[in-house]
Amino acid sequence: MNGPKIYSLLGLCRRGGNIGSGEFQTDRHIKTGLSSLVIVATDSSDNTKKKFRDSAAYYKVPYAEFGNKEELGKAIGYEFRACVSVNNEGLALKIINLLKEDNYTIC
């Protein structure tokens, strides 16, 4: 299980200023080309998942559903977050590889 490593990398992204969080900021980062990976919490609403899955597909940004709102938020220093945008290509690739090792689907 690579969950703790992924959360640690998300925290590293936050400290480096390479993350967008929350629906508004994540959506903006996808549309402006800043995002290298979009992660949506598994306990997010179906509408939220569809919105970001479709947007990520349209803008050709990798998309994954991982963790829950509380865990994602805690990893980046907030109470909870439904979605995050990883804006560092190298860290995004590392997270993608860890997700694939744990058999998560990357769209």
Q: Are 83 and 52 in contact (CB under 8 A)?
A: yes
This model's pTM is above 0.85: yes
Instruction: Sketch out the chain's domains with CATH numbers.
Output: 3-101 (3.30.1330.30)
Beta strands across the sheet bearing 83-86:
19-21, 83-86, 37-40, 63-65
For position 40, what pLDDT does the model report? Answer: 96
- Full pLDDT tens readout for the chain, 107 residues: 778 899 999 999 999 999 999 899 999 999 999 999 999 999 999 999 999 999 999 999 999 999 999 999 999 989 899 999 999 999 999 999 999 998 888 98
pLDDT of residue 53: 96
What H or E segment, with its residue span, contains residue 52? helix 46-58
